[in-house]
Structure 1
Amino acid sequence: MLENSYHDQLPSSFYSEQAPVPVAAPEMFVYNHQLAADLDLPADWQDAKKAMAWLSGNMAVADSQPIAQAYAGHQFGHFTMLGDGRAILLGEIVKEDQRYDMQLKGSGRTLFSRKGDGRATLYSMLREYLISEAMHHLGIPTTRSLAVVKSGEKVQREYQHEGAILTRIAKSHLRVGTFEFARVYRSDEELKQLLDYSIQRHDPSLVGQEDVAMKFFQSVIDRQIDLVVHWMRVGFIHGVMNTDNTSIAGESIDYGPCAFMNAYHPDTVFSSIDRQGRYAYSNQPRIVHWNLAVLANALLPLLDQDEKKAIERVEAVLNEFPEMYRARYFSMMLNKLGIAQQKPDDAVLVQELMQLLAEHRIDYTNFFVSLRHDSITEKALLEDERFISWKQRWKEAHERDVPKGLQLMDENNPVVIPRNHLVEQALEEAVDGKMKPFNDLLEKLSQPYAQDQSLQEVPEGFDRLYQTYCGT
């Protein structure tokens, strides 16, 4: 069933052959039947006992060649050697010329584990399952979650937790950090092999073209801009945008300390390890730009034999990033505002609104839904002369094409997001064996744009003390 092109087409220096470490008493906790069907998994995968044995690592999947991938990365700006310290790539599902990695996360120690135990907690794996599936239904490129299997073992963190293994599905696990690893620790020849493999995997239309390294770099830039614009659209804060979490495929990956913003403020941070606000909501575009500069540095030997010329070339492309991002960001925000016939001056409406929402701490998600239905209730905002003026000018822009504008608002403004308090409540109940809140929330998150759902309210003061954690 599985292939492993990563194993077959790249040098062995890019991975370590490693089978998952069996667990004591596996128990299927959550299984994504719809995703299994979408991937055209064989009928055997609907057999709970077989699926549980495969996805716990206790039985080998047919044709799998399990490996732990090598990569490096800049974590909070500091370079280090990394690799899959608690994940095993079983192989790839091939469907209609698209490859999807099947990876077990929390499957035991590997060559790259350093001091880690290679395991994961049930709480953190359920969190990734919930958020990644929510992101998918929001229409945001993301890794997916096929299953969470309880291990029957305890995992020690600040205290003992139930252990679990997540099955993650991705277009690939190639990262900016994979290219950093090749550039720093391997030869230019191996770097070229990685580039060729990445192009075959994600940009096959580029095969055989001239100046292919630059064209590949531009494709990655394009995917990353689209991704971060999506994050900004729904108020998503990744929380740990290290280069090893920057996917070449342009998917959101690694849902450790991520969260969704409720009351709007550009400096919002929830991650317990982001003490300086490096990965705050409004910093995400700048960090993507920084991470792409790191990728550019890794690609230099493939861009021109003269390093000075190579640097000049990538700098010219990187210098275009701010305007490329700005154009897509403002277009997205004007879509949220229901302005179908957009004019350059409309960007001022976005800038003024964001300032007002920040000053009044207005709920980001609820505001746009309320604006669409003319049902804003925040008294302080409604009485602010600046907002009164803003709304009149917005209305004039919106009325250029009302039907299309309303359609854009419905398509771009979710009514339901994974509210932090609901996520924590669902996870705490699930870990305690009560799955109803988890399943109910998952169901609501599968229809985030359904207009018949009521606005979500956040308990007063909840976000002020709320923190998210890496899970490692």
Structure 2
Amino acid sequence: MTQLPDFAFDNSYHRELSGAYASWQGDKVPAPRMLRLNVALAEELGLDAEALAGEAGALIFSGARTPTGAAPLAMAYAGHQFGGFSPQLGDGRAILVGEVLTRTGARRDIHLKGSGRTPFSRGGDGKAALGPVLREYLIGEAMYALGVPTTRALAAVTTGEKIHRESGAKDGAVLARVAASHLRVGSFQFFAARGEVEMLRKLADYAIARHDPDLIGQEGRYLSFLKRVAERQAELVAQWVNLGFVHGVMNTDNMTISGETIDYGPCAFIDSYSPKASFSSIDQHGRYAYGNQPNIAAWNLARLAESLLALIDADDEKAIAQATEVITGFPELYQVAWLKGARAKLGLTGEAEGDLALANGFLMTMQGHSVDYTNAFRALAEAVRGNDAPLRALYEDPTELDAWLQAYLARAGKEPAPAAARATAMDGVNPLYIPRNHKVEAALEAAEAGDMAPFDALLKLLQTPFAEQEGMQSYARPAPESFGAYKTFCGT
């Protein structure tokens, strides 16, 4: 029997939150095979990457074998999905294997997605197909390289079985992912909906100890915790919007307490700038459209606030008033975070009264004109260097842009740093390479056919998204017209 390496687990969720999960094992699969291991992440977690790269890793990360010290479980949570409340969702196709401490002492979950049915599967098979597993691997690692808080891919393992979906039989796979935690808004909704106040308190105290330890034991800590989550979500969604990222399924069970991006099912990046951009095949009314993401974040936070009311204050009216103040303050939190990011993208280090209008003005020059969002910001740095031709070439009619450029260059000229330094700083926050949807689809299609080379090439490129790389010009271009209207699909 294959010797499994030691993980040195310290499983606080299992130890402290009995009643918030079902202990569970992954399915035994016929032929687990390590497809890709994130060696750098494994080493960061203090794991034996060499041992995990072979059969041992395939066994562990498929869920087929449980390493010593693991306490595998399926987490319980509820959630609003497209506005409708489900009182019990939970890990229907995933298990939390355990928690490890990194070399710096940070606690991280190791979680398997696609490891088989659990008590929360609700009739599903609990499995994952190869394409969606590799999508989450690719996009998550791209987001990490872009500086966005995110769950990360530790490994992708094939299972040797066929998974049956509407589009036909697919190769089965499991994603091993890592997160600061898998606590969600829905985790709190689960106990609040049942009126289990003491379990809710235990969960909140656990979340505070894990993510906001300076609040431990403080009076008013549950309200402060709500504020912290709101701050993290404002920062996160502002980063999404500044990068042109559309999550696609911002249900409350997909909003983390840690402020990390989780679940890359129907996600996509915009090519042309449009607040209405929506790619998910099941988001038929644009609830989770690109420009609506800040509003949905506020809506989700309101559901968290409702769940915490019994903890915030024994007086219902006082609790509602205090929680409402946090939620109504979210738009300002978001605007501050977004404008901070927008200033960086525009190469502005100082603050001026008209900066918000200036940043929105650039977006207005793009809207409705099929202007590539990522390339426009990248080309703006060239305009700062004195060459506006690449930027103007993105516009069929640059008249509106020219008027904006005049105002922008006047404002940017008041910055203390020279133009060359500002342009270099802009190149450090405006990516040249993002996971272009057509390139992602091509890489996944090739991988499903047995060719991992396009996936590997794209992954390598996206690990350094700000630096120009020779021969990679096609990866910086939007999809050709022949690619058509892009649709993404939720679920693995």
Task: Write the distance in 1 (CA, Å) between the matches of 2:172 and 2:107.
Answer: 29
Of 30, 39, 45 in structure 1, the residue corresponding to residue 36 of structure 2 is: 30
Task: Write the distance in 2 (CA, Å) between the matches of 1:170 and 1:186.
Answer: 28
Matched, 1:311 2:331: no
Of 145, 160, 168 in structure 2, the residue corresponding to residue 137 of structure 1 is: 145
Task: Write the distance in 2 (CA, Å) between the matches of 1:120 and 1:130.
Answer: 16
What is the TM-score when the length of structure 1 is the normalising length?
0.97
C-alpha spacing 1:300/1:404, structure 2 compared with 1 (3 Å): farther
Q: Equivalences for 1:410-449 in 2 at 5 Å? A: 410-449=427-466
1:451 Cα offset (Å): 3.7
Q: Equivalences for 1:240-279 in 2 at 5 Å? A: 240-279=249-288
Report the counterpart of residue 461 of structure 1 in structure 2: 481
Task: Write the distance in 2 (CA, Å) between the matches of 1:392 and 1:353.
Answer: 11
Task: Write the distance in 2 (CA, Å) between the matches of 1:383 and 1:69.
Answer: 53
Task: Write the distance in 2 (CA, Å) between the matches of 1:190 and 1:404.
Answer: 53
Task: Write the distance in 2 (CA, Å) between the matches of 1:338 and 1:234.
Answer: 15
After superposition, the C-alpha distances for 1:195-217 in whole angstroms (9 at most, x for unaligned) are 01001111111112111001111
Q: Is the 8 Å Cα contact of residues 22 and 76 (structure 2) preserved in structure 1?
A: yes
C-alpha spacing 1:45/1:181, structure 2 compared with 1 (3 Å): farther
After superposition, the C-alpha distances for 1:71-100 in whole angstroms (9 at most, x for unaligned) are 000000000020000001000011233110
Partner letter of residue 111 of structure 2?
A: Q
Q: Is the 8 Å Cα contact of residues 338 and 404 (structure 1) preserved in structure 2?
A: no
Q: Equivalences for 1:207-246 in 2 at 5 Å? A: 207-246=216-255
After superposition, the C-alpha distances for 1:170-207 in whole angstroms (9 at most, x for unaligned) are 00000000000011125111110000100111111111
- Look up the SS of the partner of 1:360 in the other structure: coil
Q: Equivalences for 1:32-181 in 2 at 5 Å? A: 32-42=38-48, 45-80=51-86, 81-95=88-102, 96-158=104-166, 159-181=168-190
The count of corresponding residues between Structure 1 and Structure 2 is 471
Matched, 1:390 2:397: no
1:4 Cα offset (Å): 1.2
Q: Equivalences for 1:332-347 in 2 at 5 Å? A: 332-347=341-356
C-alpha spacing 1:427/1:47, structure 2 compared with 1 (3 Å): closer
Q: Is the 8 Å Cα contact of residues 341 and 400 (structure 1) preserved in structure 2?
A: no
- Look up the SS of the partner of 1:362 in the other structure: coil
- Look up the SS of the partner of 2:464 in the other structure: coil
Task: Write the distance in 1 (CA, Å) between the matches of 2:452 and 2:90.
Answer: 33
Of 268, 271, 292 in structure 2, the residue corresponding to residue 283 of structure 1 is: 292
Q: Equivalences for 1:353-368 in 2 at 5 Å? A: 353-368=362-377
Matched, 1:302 2:311: yes
- Look up the SS of the partner of 1:381 in the other structure: coil
Task: Write the distance in 2 (CA, Å) between the matches of 1:280 and 1:225.
Answer: 17
Task: Write the distance in 2 (CA, Å) between the matches of 1:190 and 1:44.
Answer: 41
Which runs of no fewer than 5 residues in structure 1 stay unpaired?
Answer: none
C-alpha spacing 1:43/1:284, structure 2 compared with 1 (3 Å): closer
1:407 Cα offset (Å): 4.0
Task: Write the distance in 2 (CA, Å) between the matches of 1:432 and 1:382.
Answer: 39
Q: Percent identity?
A: 45
Partner letter of residue 403 of structure 2?
A: S
Task: Write the distance in 1 (CA, Å) between the matches of 2:228 and 2:393.
Answer: 46
Report the counterpart of residue 386 of structure 2 in structure 1: none
Q: Is the 8 Å Cα contact of residues 29 and 149 (structure 1) preserved in structure 2?
A: yes
What is the TM-score when the length of structure 2 is the normalising length?
0.93
- Look up the SS of the partner of 2:476 in the other structure: coil
After superposition, the C-alpha distances for 1:92-150 in whole angstroms (9 at most, x for unaligned) are 01123311000111001000001100000011101110110000001000000011111
1:383 Cα offset (Å): 4.3
Partner letter of residue 283 of structure 2?
A: D
- Look up the SS of the partner of 2:443 in the other structure: helix
Of 15, 31, 34 in structure 1, the residue corresponding to residue 21 of structure 2 is: 15
Partner letter of residue 113 of structure 1?
A: S
1:436 Cα offset (Å): 0.8
Q: Is the 8 Å Cα contact of residues 44 and 51 (structure 1) preserved in structure 2?
A: no
Q: Is the 8 Å Cα contact of residues 37 and 53 (structure 2) preserved in structure 1?
A: no
After superposition, the C-alpha distances for 1:29-79 in whole angstroms (9 at most, x for unaligned) are 111111111111136644511111111122111100110000000000000
Q: Is the 8 Å Cα contact of residues 372 and 394 (structure 2) preserved in structure 1?
A: no
Partner letter of residue 275 of structure 1?
A: Q
- Look up the SS of the partner of 2:344 in the other structure: helix
1:306 Cα offset (Å): 1.1
1:273 Cα offset (Å): 0.5
Task: Write the distance in 2 (CA, Å) between the matches of 1:380 and 1:111.
Answer: 52
Task: Write the distance in 1 (CA, Å) between the matches of 2:135 and 2:378.
Answer: 26
Task: Write the distance in 1 (CA, Å) between the matches of 2:313 and 2:210.
Answer: 23
C-alpha spacing 1:23/1:276, structure 2 compared with 1 (3 Å): same
After superposition, the C-alpha distances for 1:221-240 in whole angstroms (9 at most, x for unaligned) are 11101100110111000000
Report the counterpart of residue 348 of structure 1 in structure 2: 357
After superposition, the C-alpha distances for 1:286-344 in whole angstroms (9 at most, x for unaligned) are 00000000000000000111111100111112111111211221221121111222202
Q: Is the 8 Å Cα contact of residues 339 and 400 (structure 1) preserved in structure 2?
A: no
- Look up the SS of the partner of 1:265 in the other structure: coil
- Look up the SS of the partner of 1:344 in the other structure: coil
1:456 Cα offset (Å): 1.4
Task: Write the distance in 1 (CA, Å) between the matches of 2:370 and 2:207.
Answer: 43
1:458 Cα offset (Å): 2.4
Task: Write the distance in 1 (CA, Å) between the matches of 2:57 and 2:139.
Answer: 22
Report the counterpart of residue 9 of structure 2 in structure 1: 2
Q: Is the 8 Å Cα contact of residues 73 and 82 (structure 1) preserved in structure 2?
A: yes
Decide which moves more: 178-187 or 381-390: 381-390
Task: Write the distance in 1 (CA, Å) between the matches of 2:76 and 2:333.
Answer: 32
- Look up the SS of the partner of 2:477 in the other structure: coil
Q: Equivalences for 1:367-386 in 2 at 5 Å? A: 367-374=376-383, 375-376=389-390, 378-379=392-393, 381=395, 383-386=397-400
Partner letter of residue 456 of structure 1?
A: A
- Look up the SS of the partner of 1:376 in the other structure: helix
